Chains A and B, each alone.
Chain A
Amino acid sequence: MSDIALKLRQNLGLLLAIGLFVVFYGIYNAYHPRGFSPQILVQNANESFVLAMVAMAQTVPVLMGGLDLSVGALMTMINCLASYLLQGSPMEIAAGILICLAVGTLAGLSNGCLVVYGRIQPIIATLASGAVFMGIALFLRPSPGGNVDGDIAWALTNDLYEVAATYGFADGGDAAWFQWFAWIPVPLLLLVLVVVFVWLPFRRSVTGRGVYAVGSAEGAAYMSGIPIDRCKLAAFTLAGLFAAIGGVYLALQTSSGNADVPQAGSYTLNSIAAVVIGGTSLMGGVGGAVGSLFGALVIRSISFNFRIFDVDPLLQTLIEGVVLLAAVSLGAARILRVKNRLELMG
């Protein structure tokens, strides 16, 4: 069995998610009057970034065999915080971003502490902490509002050309050598950076592997000397960081902070769906953040398709729901492959 064949076989879930994305996004672009154009790409990337980050956030606790029901609320809380801090001089803005990320990471860490030291099951711990985060968000922004520096909001939610244009380098974006990458949407670039510089190193670290181990078989992980507590703390902390990145971006995208309770809940639940579509098992031990990223893109692509096919808005929600149900059912339905019914249980 060659290495490549083995790796392919082991990553079927991820490949399926990528395939689904290619199909849905491809159809969208094919039928869109301005399909396959940079403008559409930027717009779509913009609309997908936050869900992608929240989905990646959800992935890590799930890999560990748990769940984080507070990711949407955490993202919202940081969104509201960012709507205060992302203004002023560049130094102040940078500091603001760092503070937001730090707060989000701390919030994630507190989730981890509840689970590890409080010995509360993740579902319930994050249910409760989600309420607390939402309360803080409501305290920060009882009604939507806020102020975000216009330049950075524009630059970071568009393509690299606009970044250059706004901040005046590479001839305001017109330099010839720059044209190779001028079209790249910043959110896309950010996603790649997060994956390459945060997720992949984590996954290859001892702690990251430990997260997979704990999700695979916690008892065996203990026997193998894996520092279980540290891995669990790391998992929730990283989730907090990812969700915070999403929250900051949402502030940039909407130029405001909005403590919207139903929206937070919707992000949380969609993140779970994205995780499953992306091939990560809810039992833990199998999958990864890249898969969840594509899962989020699949979910967004489906709603993009509604626009071009001029679907009756009343039907849209229903079709979204049906497609979601079908996608997760197919992805998670193990019944078809199994010949020994015992394997379906526990």
Chain B
Amino acid sequence: MRMASRENRPILITASFIVLILAIGTAYTLATQGSASFISANYLLQQLQVASFLGIVAAGMMLVILLGHIDLSVPWTIAAAAMMATAVGGSWAVPVGLGVGLAVGLFNGLGVAHLRVPSMIFTLGVNAVLRGLMILHTGGFAPQTQSTGVMEFLAVGRVFGVPMALVVWVALSAVVVVILTRTTLGRYIYAVGNREAAAYLSGIDTRLVLIAAFVLCGLCAGLSGVLLAGYSTKAYQGMGDAYLLPAIAAVVIGGTNILGGQGRYAGTVMGVILITLLTSVLSVMQIDESGRQVIYGLVIIVMLLLYGRSSTRRQA
């Protein structure tokens, strides 16, 4: 895939916004506290650690969006993976959490690829089912089981001063980039996202591609659930709800076309960092929830306006 300048633009704009946000935050702290804590290495590393959870979810979401689909079952996949991992405990905790993600992704993929139910609707239903299952499992209460040492290490531990969660995110990112740019699967994902009928007629097994993308998205959600449980030392109801819309927003801010077929992973990474920093700066500036929501929405709108989206007539 050659990188047209049109695809670079969102990444540059996002990067500029990140710098802008840091500047505003630093100005604020300089004015109120006399310190420039926002540009300290410690703070930035901590932010990257927090960003990792969202970043892992966004990585998987990007693959599905590239196909022109969407995965709305991420919130309860995260929660279910976390709850199952803590419930099982021991050395099986992490594999079980990942397994939950994989199973959900597989189910989603089968529904979308074989039954041809629109992904928005199918994953919506799956999300509702997962919620029901977890309520049944926990008896409606917050789960009491603890996360394991491994989970906590992955989420909170550090390796040579670098947060482990960040290491996981970077490793995952490397895998995603390789998949998208160097493998046949990546090429097929872009092809199917561009025009599924033509990809199908070119002899691509479009169903497998769809399933693979949803499985990967589920795995990412599961991984994120495991890490989140490690971070909070336990799982809790609704823990994944706050990650769905920001993940989608991060992917789109990063320049991926919501209709599929176009997008660079670097953009998604930038989008995740931007959203994380924005949330953090806003809370330090003690802007309350209402203000945060408004600013969050406005930032997305402004950035998309800057991309100069020309309506690509993908239909008819």
Q: B6 contacts which chain A residues (CB < 8 A)?
A: none
Whether A282 touches B118, Cβ cut-off 8 Å, given contacts A121-B309, A262-B238, is yes
Cross-chain contact A218 with B313 (CB below 8 angstroms): yes
Please measure, in the bound complex, the distance between the C-alpha atom of A346 and the C-alpha atom of B200, giving whole angstroms: 11
Q: B122 contacts which chain A residues (CB < 8 A)?
A: 325, 328-329, 332
Cross-chain contact B297 with A322 (CB below 8 angstroms): no
Cross-chain contact A317 with B124 (CB below 8 angstroms): no
In chain A, positions 313-346 with a C-beta closer than 8 Å to chain B are 313-322, 324-326, 328-329, 332-335, 341-342, 344-346
Cross-chain contact A128 with B259 (CB below 8 angstroms): no
Asked if B3 CB lies within 8 Å of chain A CBs, one says no
Q: B132 contacts which chain A residues (CB < 8 A)?
A: 315-322
Please measure, in the bound complex, the distance between the C-alpha atom of A333 and the C-alpha atom of B110, giving whole angstroms: 12
Cross-chain contact B135 with A346 (CB below 8 angstroms): no
Please measure, in the bound complex, the distance between the C-alpha atom of A127 and the C-alpha atom of B244, giving whole angstroms: 11
Cross-chain contact A325 with B126 (CB below 8 angstroms): yes
Cross-chain contact B117 with A128 (CB below 8 angstroms): no
Asked if A19 CB lies within 8 Å of chain B CBs, one says no
Please measure, in the bound complex, the distance between the C-alpha atom of A270 and the C-alpha atom of B279, giving whole angstroms: 28
Cross-chain contact B294 with A136 (CB below 8 angstroms): yes
Residue of B nearest to A314 (CB): B136
Cross-chain contact B128 with A321 (CB below 8 angstroms): yes
Residue of B nearest to A134 (CB): B293
| Cβ of A63 to closest chain B Cβ, rounded Å | 14
Asked if B7 CB lies within 8 Å of chain A CBs, one says no
Cross-chain contact B125 with A324 (CB below 8 angstroms): yes
Asked if A246 CB lies within 8 Å of chain B CBs, one says no
Residue of A nearest to B251 (CB): A124
Cross-chain contact A128 with B292 (CB below 8 angstroms): no
Residue of B nearest to A276 (CB): B121
| Cβ of B268 to closest chain A Cβ, rounded Å | 14
In chain A, positions 128-148 with a C-beta closer than 8 Å to chain B are 128-139, 142
Please measure, in the bound complex, the distance between the C-alpha atom of A119 and the C-alpha atom of B311, giving whole angstroms: 6
Q: B313 contacts which chain A residues (CB < 8 A)?
A: 218-219
- The interface size bin for chain A is 35 or more
Asked if A120 CB lies within 8 Å of chain B CBs, one says yes
Asked if B316 CB lies within 8 Å of chain A CBs, one says yes
Please measure, in the bound complex, the distance between the C-alpha atom of A139 and the C-alpha atom of B132, giving whole angstroms: 32
For B122, B290, B295, B311, the residue with the greatest tally of chain A CB atoms inside 10 Å of its CB is B290
Asked if A112 CB lies within 8 Å of chain B CBs, one says no
Please measure, in the bound complex, the distance between the C-alpha atom of A262 and the C-alpha atom of B245, giving whole angstroms: 12
Q: B305 contacts which chain A residues (CB < 8 A)?
A: 118, 120
- The interface size bin for chain B is 35 or more
Residue of A nearest to B121 (CB): A328
Q: A320 contacts which chain B residues (CB < 8 A)?
A: 128, 132
Residue of A nearest to B245 (CB): A127
In chain A, positions 55-105 with a C-beta closer than 8 Å to chain B are 65, 67
Cross-chain contact B131 with A317 (CB below 8 angstroms): yes
| Residue from the list A123, A129, A324, A345 in contact with B258, Cβ < 8 A | A123
> B243-267 toward A: CB 8 Å interface, digit per residue (1/0)?
0010011001000001100000000
Asked if B152 CB lies within 8 Å of chain A CBs, one says no
Q: A334 contacts which chain B residues (CB < 8 A)?
A: 116
Asked if A308 CB lies within 8 Å of chain B CBs, one says no
Cross-chain contact A273 with B195 (CB below 8 angstroms): no
Residue of B nearest to A142 (CB): B290
Whether A139 touches B117, Cβ cut-off 8 Å, given contacts A130-B297, A262-B241, is no
In chain B, positions 132-149 with a C-beta closer than 8 Å to chain A are 132-133, 135-136, 139-140
Whether A315 touches B296, Cβ cut-off 8 Å, given contacts A220-B316, A321-B129, A321-B131, is no
Whether A345 touches B300, Cβ cut-off 8 Å, given contacts A325-B126, A325-B128, is no
Cross-chain contact A342 with B124 (CB below 8 angstroms): no
Asked if A217 CB lies within 8 Å of chain B CBs, one says yes
Asked if A298 CB lies within 8 Å of chain B CBs, one says no
| Residue from the list B293, B297, B310 in contact with A138, Cβ < 8 A | B293
Cross-chain contact A118 with B304 (CB below 8 angstroms): yes
Q: A129 contacts which chain B residues (CB < 8 A)?
A: 297, 301
| Cβ of B188 to closest chain A Cβ, rounded Å | 14
Residue of A nearest to B311 (CB): A119
| Cβ of A109 to closest chain B Cβ, rounded Å | 15
Asked if A52 CB lies within 8 Å of chain B CBs, one says no
Whether A135 touches B121, Cβ cut-off 8 Å, given contacts A269-B72, A320-B132, is no
Please measure, in the bound complex, the distance between the C-alpha atom of A216 and the C-alpha atom of B129, giving whole angstroms: 32
Q: B309 contacts which chain A residues (CB < 8 A)?
A: 118-121
Cross-chain contact A118 with B315 (CB below 8 angstroms): no
Please measure, in the bound complex, the distance between the C-alpha atom of A265 and the C-alpha atom of B315, giving whole angstroms: 28
Cross-chain contact A318 with B129 (CB below 8 angstroms): yes
Asked if B71 CB lies within 8 Å of chain A CBs, one says no
- What are 27 A-B residue pairs whose CB atoms fall within 8 Å in the complex? A118-B304, A118-B305, A119-B311, A120-B305, A120-B309, A128-B249, A128-B304, A129-B297, A131-B300, A132-B297, A132-B298, A134-B293, A135-B290, A217-B315, A217-B316, A282-B121, A314-B140, A318-B131, A318-B135, A320-B132, A322-B129, A329-B115, A332-B116, A335-B116, A342-B197, A345-B200, A345-B206
Task: Point out residues on A near B: beta carbons under 8 Å.
Answer: 65, 67, 114, 118-121, 123-125, 127-139, 142, 216-220, 259, 262, 265, 269, 272-273, 276, 282, 313-322, 324-326, 328-329, 332-335, 341-342, 344-346
13 additional A-B residue pairs with CB within 8 Å, beyond A135-B296, A273-B124: A119-B308, A120-B305, A128-B300, A134-B293, A138-B289, A216-B316, A218-B315, A219-B313, A318-B136, A324-B128, A326-B125, A328-B125, A345-B206
